[in-house]
Structure 1
Amino acid sequence: MNNAISVNVRRLGQPKNKLVPSGATWGIPWKKGELLRDERLTMTGPSGTPVPLQSWPTAYWPDGSVKWSAHAAALGGSVCDAASFVVSKGEPAAPAAPVHVRDEDAYFEVNTGAIVCQINKAGADIVRAMYRGETLACSGGKLVCIREEQRSDAGGRVFKEQHFVSQITKAAVEQSGPVRAVVKVEGRHKAVAGSRAWLPFTLRLYFYAGLAQMRIMHSFVYDGNPHQDAIKGLGIAFSLPMSGPLHNRHVRLGGDTGFFAESPKHLMTFRTRGKYEELFRRQTAGEMISFDPQEDAAFIGLLEDAAVWEDFKLVQSAPDYYEISKRTQEGCCWLKSGSGSRSSGVAYAGSESGGIAANVRNFWRKYPSALELRHLSADTAEMTVWFWSPDVRAMDLRHYDTKTHLLSAYEGFDELRSTPYGIANTNELTLHCLESTPSAEMLKALAEEAEAPARLACEPQYYYDAKAFGLWSLPDRSTAAKAQLEERLDAVIDFYKTEVEQRKWYGFWDYGDFMHSYDPTRHVWRYDVGGCAWQNTELAPNMWLWYMFLRSGREDIFRLAEAMTRHTSEVDVYHIGEYAGLGTRHNVVHWGCGCKEARIAMAGLHRYYYYLTVDERIGDIMNEVADADYTTVHLDPMRSYYPKDEFPTHIRVGPDWAAFSSNWMTRWERYEDTSYRDKLLTGIADIKSMPFRLRSGPVYGYDPKTGRLTHFGDDNWGRHLAVCMGGPQVWFELAEMLEDPEWEEMMAEFGSFYLLSREEKAAQTSGAIAKWSWDHPVLASGIIAYGAYRSKDKALAGKVWDILLSEPFMARIGQPDTVDGLEYVRPVQEIGMASTNIASQWSLNTILSLELLADSLPEG
């Protein structure tokens, strides 16, 4: 045990400004035995400045030492713009104003030292009141939903709307300081007129010591009928106290680069001249304006006659278009006031007593979103953040057809199981309590914080040395061949960054996902061809992006991986209902494919983000999937191949049991729950007893109550399925925890066997498994590399490099063709053979092979 250890952590990207302090939460991995659960950690900034730190464990090694620790700090004051810090063993500094949480009968009260927020335990309003000093800053915070039902008859279409607001069913304090406090609120949306309650929600409210802000994580689950229950609008509304004359009330809405700045009673009239023009400029800049009743009587009369602009809104209806409008009152038209491409997602409303600014994460990326400010002339105004704007068409969650297209479109089953019932979505915003109307510079700082919230991370070398997430390599360009592979790894990241923007892979339900395969004839991805459209974690692109971040530390890769994790863990996964714990295979519609499988939802895909950022929502989702193996009893993954028999269900060693093993490993290390460890050991023992161990698969009879696997047969789809869905990445890390040489030997044995000729396979297995399909070596090259490494087989290592170096798509990466504007709707760049399956698996297997077989890579 090293008591003198210290860990360097740094911000992702450079600090954007000194104007906005921010709270940061992040994770640090530890070697086995390096950090004991009762040891304390401290943090220092530049020049050894103590930074108050709150720490807690998030995962443990089997010996009880800490595997991952979580940390929270408020980055303000002298460290507001600090780029790096040091975490070491020692007593942490205490915040000057620690967060305090008080439990009252009807609410929780959180005091950060800068604000006091009361959070209700029941009712519609989440926030009872939020104060800045003695001043009420806001209240309310109720969730709002508009349900639309459409009916058609000979006379046309009729649209009916029904309004819902939040109804709290449960509230709990998850953390109570001293640096960070978290309150979790759960409930459903209840009809304003009627008894129906639907759309379960979870809100987490985050507070940091000394900061006058509240971060909100908003998640909801869809539990309606897509043919009857369309969501027309979904958001959260706050009540803001207003005081003083109307001309001293201010509105700000974030544009592309600057801000829409007006007042409900601005000073521009037909006769605004002279000193009043200067006053108008000062008003527009946010200053408080006063008049002399006698000297300014004539102008005051003009103001009394001028229109009062009661309501304002900004609607981001597409990724490249927003519109700002305002109106004088209900029943009058909305007047277009401005437009642009991509709003920064910031809104402010306030008066002489200060106000509230809201910044929304990924505002334009998750369109159609909106910011609405209403009743600006009243004593209480309303600010609504719309995650889905009611100014656009309602959500359409129906399937794209009334039948499946198994043969022509690579859809998984003849069964039509396209349902959004149980999928979810998560959105983030932050409220800032401000004493006065913010400057444009301050608003810009808020927008930048929303765009890229403060994140701290370790150096890649530290992650590597700690063996965080198993086996992977650091970049190495020491030879021409290694440099070529590194260039391809970087180039494929750049390719997908470009595709996200070029193809506009944005939207409330889509942002974060990539598409599956490309159609060079139409110059588009196969968006309408069944299983060739959205990727939905097929072949583990999440893992690819996270390992690329770990080895590089690049912020842009982190943001790609973060967006994919948020999307795939919510939209591609069932959180309630018949398919709870499973996800949907790749399809035109994210939830469209009849294949509902554990590997899409497995914890192994999402745990990177959880341990690196300590995101509680991801923690919830990993808990949801811990027992996903039970769901396969009523939805057998192999139901098309094997009828019901003596086994409760049938599974494959990969991707099914591999997914279960990732869920169980994660549950075991997070909670030290040995029942999940025992399930792992039971399965591994059964695999050891199979005729040819791991090679015997892939289909087993399975009983989730016991975890027992019984050798059953073969699905004839090839051994690559056992290892190309993230299984090896999970199993290599699991090996560090189990310390079972035979488990590692079995994995190596599988890899060494994969490329043998049919005759060699027959000789080793008496012909039993020689005929089975082993025909996708690029997808299995990582486990083959492991076999070559363990057996020190240089010839096999050479074959691995031949496979990886000759892959056609990756050989073309970085060299796209140009499609002119006549062949397609606009000019685009393309690589005709683009495949996310290949991009993901080639990258993962290259990263692994560079760690295991770098010495055998040809230099040229």
Structure 2
Amino acid sequence: MKREDQLALREAAGEEGTASNGAPLPMQSWPLAYWPDGSVKWTAHAAVFTPGQTAQAYRVVRSAEQPAEVTSSGVTVTDSTAEVVVDTGAIRCILPRSGPSIIREVIRSEEGMKVCCGGKLTGIREVRIQEPDGRTVREEQMVSEVEALQIEQQGPLRAVIRVNGRHVTASGRKWLPFTLRLYFYAGLEQIRIVHSFVYDGNPHQDFIRAVGLEFDVPMRGPSYNRHVRFAGEAGWFAESPKGLMMFRLNPPYDELYREQTAGRLIELTPDRDANFLKLMDDAATWNDYKLSQLTPDSYTMKKRTGEGCSWIKASSGSRARGLVYAGGEGGGLAAGLRYFWQKAPSALEVTDAAGSEANITVWLWSRDAEPMDLRHYDTETHVASAYEGAEEMRSTPYGIANTNECTLWCLAGTPDSQELDRMADLLESPPLLVCKPEHYHASGSLGVWSLPDRSTPVKAHLEDTLAGLYSFYEDEVERRGWYGFWDYGDVMHSYDSVRHTWRYDIGGCAWQNTELAPNMWLWYMFLRTGRKDIFRFAEAMTRHTSEVDVYHIGEYAGLGSRHNVLHWGCGCKEARIAMAGLHRYYFYLTADERISDRMDAVRDADYATVGLDPMRAYYPKDQFPTHTRSGPDWSAFCSNWLVQWERYEDTAYRDKMLRGIACLKQMPDRLLTGPVFGYDPKTGELQHMGDENWGHHLMICMGGAQIWMEMAELLNDPEWCDMAAEYGAFYTLPPERKAELTDGRIQGVDWNIPMLATSMMAYAAARRDDRQLAGEAWELLLRGGDHWFIAGPPEPLEVPAREYMKRMAGVPGISTNTVSQWSINVIVCLELIGRWLDNGQE
């Protein structure tokens, strides 16, 4: 679309989603990326719907009309030197520019009632000091300190405020830098919060005992008209600090008790209810409540009368939904933590419910759990025995991060169970407008991938296999319990058929950490199917891999850690793990500002390789600033630069891609040369260092093939297209033919795992109209004959009794490397050479 085009949001009608003739709905739009010719490639849109409207289909269309006007209840943002005030029409929120509070207060506009104040970050740092006669453990409380506040967007339908700061301990130490974004929408009483923090401590001394967000809630009225609510797995814990249930409960108070439990206002008068009020004065007042989800499969609900008294167990269950409410007469606050049980240990807590102000704390890491232990799993590396990447011990959590999503509802009264259920559903699965797969495909805006095709038996078999592989991993997350604060979103690398488990304790065979691009596999699966479950899986992986697997500060900033027992455990710190191309799918589908930060942060990751040469173990320091492989290093740099170019039209990053391509054009055998080169990040120049100086399969299995093909479409450079096609046609040639074509420079050494080259082969076959090469690619995918080949949908086998701790099913020999790359290559090949799949049928 052109930059000047007007867009309108209309309700769609009919099965094909044709636009109705109704008036356009209010919508806020902004561009996210541009095509090389300057036209708009991706746009983002915000709209506010009533509950009844969310079941409808909508279309964003070009319109000659002016956009629909936002009513007077639009979001307004008022800025001053001391604070920022956001008014949605339903609530008025005051955000101070300094101090410990993120939210000073929230007032409901209609009633003028304050429902929240003193919103801040909280936590506990545990310090362990080893002494001659034992170990001393000291706990320090910590609280947020705001350092900067930025208005990123200010309406009319959506406002975004970014807050940056650090946690400050009781001793004055400033650490754990955080970024908090608060999202406001016109006419809504809710605030969405995206909370990120970076670990910058010493894992041998600085143990995080707890970290969370807390909010003070004014409590009005007598204790029996105050209410707390906690979501269980299905229903609700519903009580008041002063319940009407006592040893004797006679009519009409039994009916009032039901009314109270339902959250309705109870009226008791001294004249009419004197005896009952006397009994109530004698009854215990329950001041504090907490729900602790210490494992993904178990929570406990407890309460107590006050500090210094024991907690008593009220209930327990499996998986709580992560929502709490506290309030009295005139309203209250509900707070929810997304992925509450999936990222255990988490907790929700209400304290001082009978006082003038209650406190709600959303614990991202529960203080009832063991402290975070981010130390390495051993004191040495295990390169030979455990497939770890480097002899150097570079396992450090310094610079890794974690992001969590919280939602607040500022309510006029205690919500009923139906409304609470709606809030819990919204928390866990927020609505998102998405397009049909056909639209994404036709746009060509996310590279080369295919729509599902079951037109022939072979294609139907491939579709069944792709679907079966995804379903297996979705089920495996549950079977294996791949949950937890630092783990949720990742999957494991390879399977142990003897122990009937994944190799969780075998160095490089444990957590995947983006190895062989599982992110791309999942996003391709979503784009081609539009399935919500696949989107949520890919979303969780994107959130995890962009935060935990990469470094945000410190000497490794811009790089990520290769796969390991711990996500940060491997000594190999590489650009390809953190590259923007893994995360851009999620950004363009959601406009998520945190992912935007992460993609911007890696734009100059090539400079980090000067301090940590990716080839340091194989090439001594020489005349080059550093070394880089054309893939996966330079291809990862290109991924970062491509995103900068398309998002900001920054031609400096486009030119850096072109400079590298120009260098490759001058090599003896163009893209076939290397793949190791001398590299200068200041100029972007690749310097020749020889031929066949490293394995070639790594060039194309970490997303390099997909990046290069997209560059070919965008850079308008026919020679680069020829170079990519030449690589695809060359990869599987016999060694003697390789030598013949290169005058003996390339002898066919280390052109391994041909299945990984099938996308590049397909690109070459499509460009050259080479049916024979296409047939060879399909042969590798359909009848490869080794462990890089997948014959059909996985069929988990029941593990014999007593050979595993619980009933279990597994797939012997399965590898996420194989699944990711086979699936990606099949999806690409169906697009490029699908016409040659069935017995030469065109």
TMscore range, shorter length? over 0.9
Aligned counterparts, 1:216-615, within 5 A: 216-615=193-592
Partner of 1:4: none
Secondary structure in structure 2 of the residue aligned to 1:733: helix
Partner of 2:162: 184
**CA displacement at 1:82 relative to structure 2:** 2.3
Q: Distance in 1 between matches of 2:820 and 2:428?
A: 26
**Alpha-carbon contact 2:466-2:793 (below 8 Å) kept:** no
Matched, 1:88 2:62: yes
Q: 1:109 aligns with which of 80, 85, 95?
A: 85
Moved more, 735-744 or 647-656: 735-744
Q: 1:843 aligns with which of 797, 820, 823?
A: 823
Moved more, 492-501 or 65-74: 65-74
**CA displacement at 1:38 relative to structure 2:** 2.5
Secondary structure in structure 2 of the residue aligned to 1:456: coil
Amino acid in the other structure paired with 1:528: D
Amino acid in the other structure paired with 2:70: P
Partner of 1:158: 136
Q: 2:26 aligns with which of 52, 56, 61?
A: 52
The percent of aligned pairs where both chains have the same amino acid is 58
Matched, 1:655 2:632: yes
Partner of 1:37: 3
Q: 2:794 aligns with which of 790, 814, 817?
A: 814
C-alpha distance 62-255 of structure 1, shift in aligned 2 (>3 A): same
Amino acid in the other structure paired with 1:831: V
**CA displacement at 1:434 relative to structure 2:** 1.1
**Structure 2: gaps of 5 or more residues:** 13-19
Aligned counterparts, 1:196-215, within 5 A: 196-215=173-192
**CA displacement at 1:84 relative to structure 2:** 3.5
Q: Distance in 2 between matches of 1:715 and 1:143?
A: 53
Amino acid in the other structure paired with 1:39: D
C-alpha distance 714-349 of structure 1, shift in aligned 2 (>3 A): farther
Instruction: Give deviations 1:754-811, integer Å, cap 9, x for gaps.
Output: 1111111111112211242112011221111212222222222111111111255622
C-alpha distance 85-275 of structure 1, shift in aligned 2 (>3 A): farther
Partner of 1:828: 808
Instruction: Give deviations 1:128-184, integer Å, cap 9, x for gaps.
Output: 111112111101211012001224557654321011100000001000001100000
**CA displacement at 1:78 relative to structure 2:** 5.1
Amino acid in the other structure paired with 2:53: V
Q: 1:127 aligns with which of 87, 103, 118?
A: 103
Moved more, 773-782 or 622-631: 773-782
C-alpha distance 440-77 of structure 1, shift in aligned 2 (>3 A): closer
Secondary structure in structure 2 of the residue aligned to 1:277: helix
Q: Distance in 2 between matches of 1:651 and 1:469?
A: 26
Instruction: Give deviations 1:666-689, integer Å, cap 9, x for gaps.
Output: 111111111111111100000111
**CA displacement at 1:86 relative to structure 2:** 3.9
Q: Distance in 2 between matches of 1:535 and 1:563?
A: 14
Partner of 1:763: 740
Q: Distance in 1 between matches of 2:127 and 2:51?
A: 51
**CA displacement at 1:188 relative to structure 2:** 0.3
**Alpha-carbon contact 1:812-1:831 (below 8 Å) kept:** no
Secondary structure in structure 1 of the residue aligned to 2:163: strand
Partner of 1:141: 119
**Alpha-carbon contact 2:674-2:693 (below 8 Å) kept:** no
Q: Distance in 2 between matches of 1:111 and 1:714?
A: 63
| RMSD value, Cα | 1.3
Partner of 1:61: 35
Amino acid in the other structure paired with 1:195: G
**Alpha-carbon contact 2:114-2:218 (below 8 Å) kept:** yes
**Alpha-carbon contact 2:676-2:693 (below 8 Å) kept:** no
Q: Distance in 1 between matches of 2:546 and 2:232?
A: 30
Q: 1:786 aligns with which of 755, 759, 763?
A: 763
Q: Distance in 1 between matches of 2:499 and 2:648?
A: 50
Moved over 4 A (4+): 152-157, 714-717
Moved more, 54-63 or 39-48: 39-48
Q: Distance in 1 between matches of 2:86 and 2:753?
A: 56
Q: 2:45 aligns with which of 62, 71, 88?
A: 71
**Alpha-carbon contact 1:45-1:79 (below 8 Å) kept:** no
**Alpha-carbon contact 1:641-1:715 (below 8 Å) kept:** no
Amino acid in the other structure paired with 1:235: G
Matched, 1:731 2:702: no
Q: Distance in 2 between matches of 1:234 and 1:661?
A: 37
**Alpha-carbon contact 1:581-1:601 (below 8 Å) kept:** yes
Q: Distance in 2 between matches of 1:63 and 1:275?
A: 76
Larger relative contact order (CA 8 Å, sep ≥ 6): 1
**Alpha-carbon contact 1:820-1:826 (below 8 Å) kept:** no
**Alpha-carbon contact 2:212-2:363 (below 8 Å) kept:** yes
Amino acid in the other structure paired with 1:594: G
**Alpha-carbon contact 1:319-1:364 (below 8 Å) kept:** yes
Q: 1:696 aligns with which of 647, 654, 673?
A: 673
Matched, 1:619 2:596: yes
**CA displacement at 1:296 relative to structure 2:** 1.6
Q: Distance in 1 between matches of 2:740 and 2:685?
A: 30
**CA displacement at 1:83 relative to structure 2:** 3.8
Amino acid in the other structure paired with 2:113: T
**CA displacement at 1:49 relative to structure 2:** 4.9
Instruction: Give deviations 1:331-372, integer Å, cap 9, x for gaps.
Output: 110111111000010100010111111121111001001000
Partner of 2:15: none
Partner of 2:152: 174
**Alpha-carbon contact 1:358-1:430 (below 8 Å) kept:** yes
**CA displacement at 1:814 relative to structure 2:** 3.0
Q: Distance in 1 between matches of 2:86 and 2:429?
A: 26
**CA displacement at 1:717 relative to structure 2:** 4.4
Q: Distance in 2 between matches of 1:250 and 1:218?
A: 27
Secondary structure in structure 2 of the residue aligned to 1:713: coil
Amino acid in the other structure paired with 1:849: C
Amino acid in the other structure paired with 2:156: P
Amino acid in the other structure paired with 2:790: M
Q: Distance in 2 between matches of 1:55 and 1:380?
A: 40
Instruction: Give deviations 1:736-767, integer Å, cap 9, x for gaps.
Output: 22111111111110010011111111111122
Amino acid in the other structure paired with 2:46: A
User: How many residues matched?
Assistant: 825
Partner of 2:17: none
**Alpha-carbon contact 1:716-1:772 (below 8 Å) kept:** no
Q: TM-score, normalised by structure 1?
A: 0.94
**Alpha-carbon contact 2:674-2:694 (below 8 Å) kept:** no
**Alpha-carbon contact 1:247-1:289 (below 8 Å) kept:** yes
Q: 1:670 aligns with which of 624, 638, 647?
A: 647
Secondary structure in structure 1 of the residue aligned to 2:77: strand
Q: Distance in 1 between matches of 2:834 and 2:411?
A: 55
Q: Distance in 2 between matches of 1:362 and 1:36?
A: 39
Q: Distance in 1 between matches of 2:33 and 2:712?
A: 16
Moved more, 804-813 or 442-451: 804-813
Secondary structure in structure 2 of the residue aligned to 1:457: coil
Amino acid in the other structure paired with 2:2: L
**Alpha-carbon contact 1:94-1:178 (below 8 Å) kept:** no
